[in-house]
Chains A and B, each alone.
Chain A
C-alpha cells in the first residue's frame, strides 16, 4: 500500500515538472486533469483500513470534477480563443523547471523543519503537498495566458487538498463538499472570464489587461 501511495505521490511531482516545462496549453490541461485524478484517488490510498463510503464518494467527486469537468470547461475556453501555446511566459521553461526543483528541495527542507504531527502512511505526503502549492503559486505568477493561471490555481488547490489529507484527515464531509463547490464555481467563472476576455480583446494574455484605460 505504501509503495503504491509513494508511486502516486512521485507521479504528482512529475506532473508538476511537466506543467512547468510544457508550452502547449492543451497538454498542460491534460496533465492538470491527470494530476487532479491522482489527487482525488489519494484519500482512497491514505485511508487504508478505515475506508468508508464517505471517503469513496468524496474521492469520486474530486476525480469527476478535477479530472473531467474542469478540463472540459478549460478546453472549451481554449477552443474559442485561437491560442494553442504559451509563447512568451514571464519565466522561461528551463528556468521554470529549475524553480520547480528548488521548490521541491525547499518543500522537503520545510517538512524536516516543521515536523508536523501527521498520521499519514507515506513520509513524503506533506512535502509533496508543499511542492504542489509552490508550483501552483509559481504558475499563477510566471505565466501570461489566463488558462495557465487557472491551472496554477487548480494545482494550488490540489496541494492544499493533499496537505489536509496528511495533517487534518478528518474534515467534515460538508466542508469538503463546500470547498469543491467553490472550486467548481471559481473555474466556471474563470472559464467565462477567459471567454469574455478573448471575445473583447482577441487574446487571453492577462498581462496586457493592465494597460486598459477606464
Chain B
C-alpha cells in the first residue's frame, strides 16, 4: 500500500466529524446564525465517551452489540472505498458489492437494535430506514454498474480510476447522471433533507435519530462517529466521480478528492437550507427518480460505448 492510500484512510478517520461540522456550519450561515464550532462533533464524541451507558431493561445483547459492529461495518466500507480512487490495484473484483452490503449489514444491525428496544417509536424509524434503503440500493448498484461499464473495470479501484478523462469524453452525460443519482442516494442513506430532517428530535417524521434514541454514553459516541463515517464514505463516492474529469494523480488527486469531499458537505448544507423536507409519500418518488437516472445512464453508456 502506498502513502496515498494510507493517507486517504487516515483522512477519512480524522476528518469525518469535521464534514458534519461543515454541513452544520453551512446551514447556520444560510440561516444567518453563527452556528456551532466546526469541531463540535469531536467534542460531542469525546464527551459521550467519558460518560457511562444506560441500558433499558427490555434490551438484550443485540442492543449492546449493535453499535460496535455497526461501526466496524462502516470502517470496512471506508477501507474498501477510500483508497480506491488514489491507489493502483487496490481491492479485488466485485468489492463494490462488499461496499454496498457492508453498509447494508450496518443498517441491519442499527435496525435490529432499534427493534430490540421494544419501543414502537423506534420501530417506526426502523421501518422507514429499511423502506428508503430498499429503494436507494438499486440506484447505487446500477450507478456503480454504469461506472464499471464505462471504465471496463471490476474492482472499485479500476472502476473509479478508469472512468477518467476518456470516460467523460465518450459517455459524459451518463457519468453526470450517475453523479446526480449518487448524490440523491447520499441524501437518502444519511437521512438528510429532503428524506429526513436531522434537526428534528422527538418528532414523528424522523428516521435515523429516532432509531438511536435509546443509545447513550460510549455507545452513542460510536453511533455518532459511525454516522459521520458513513456520510464520509458516500461523499467520497460522489466526490471521486466529480474530480475524475480533472485527470489528476498522486498527491494532487488526494488533495482534490479531500477538498471535494469537504465541499460535498457545503452542497449538502445548501440543499438542506434551500429545500423543505418532502412528505413521506413523496420520498419514494424521489428515490425512484434516482433509480431512473441510474438506469437511463446505463442504457446511454451501453449505447455510447458500443
Contacts and interface: CB of A to CB of B under 8 A. Distances in A.
A21 B293 CA distance: 13
A110 to B, nearest CB: 13
A96 B285 CA distance: 10
B285 A21 contact: yes
A17 interface: yes
Interface residues of A, number: 20
A193 interface: no
A100 B285 contact: no
B177 interface: yes
B244 to A, nearest CB: 17
Nearest to A95: B288
B288 A98 contact: yes
B197 to A, nearest CB: 22
A104 B292 CA distance: 10
Interface of B is mostly: helix
A56 interface: no
A101 B177 CA distance: 15
A123 B288 CA distance: 26
Given A21-B285, A124-B303, A10 B177 contact: yes
B295 to A, nearest CB: 6
Given A93-B285, A94-B284, A105 B299 contact: yes
A1 interface: no
Contacts, number: 43
A105 B295 CA distance: 9
A21 B30 CA distance: 30
B296 interface: yes
A101 B303 contact: no
A34 B20 CA distance: 37
B173 A7 contact: yes
B296 A104 contact: yes
B303 A97 contact: no
A108 B172 contact: no
Given A3-B172, A6-B173, A124-B303, A21 B296 contact: no
A154 interface: no
Nearest to A8: B173
Interface string A1-25: 0010011001001100100010000
A10 B173 contact: yes
Given A10-B173, A10-B300, A124-B300, A101 B285 contact: no
B252 to A, nearest CB: 26
Interface of A: 3, 6-7, 10, 13-14, 17, 21, 93-94, 97-98, 100-101, 104-105, 108, 123-124, 127
Closest 5 CB pairs of A and B: A10-B173, A94-B288, A97-B288, A94-B285, A101-B292
24 contacts: A3-B172, A6-B304, A7-B173, A10-B173, A10-B177, A10-B300, A13-B296, A17-B292, A21-B289, A94-B284, A97-B285, A97-B288, A97-B292, A98-B288, A100-B292, A101-B292, A101-B295, A101-B296, A104-B295, A105-B299, A108-B299, A123-B303, A123-B304, A127-B303
Interface of B: 172-173, 177, 284-285, 288-289, 291-292, 295-296, 299-300, 303-304
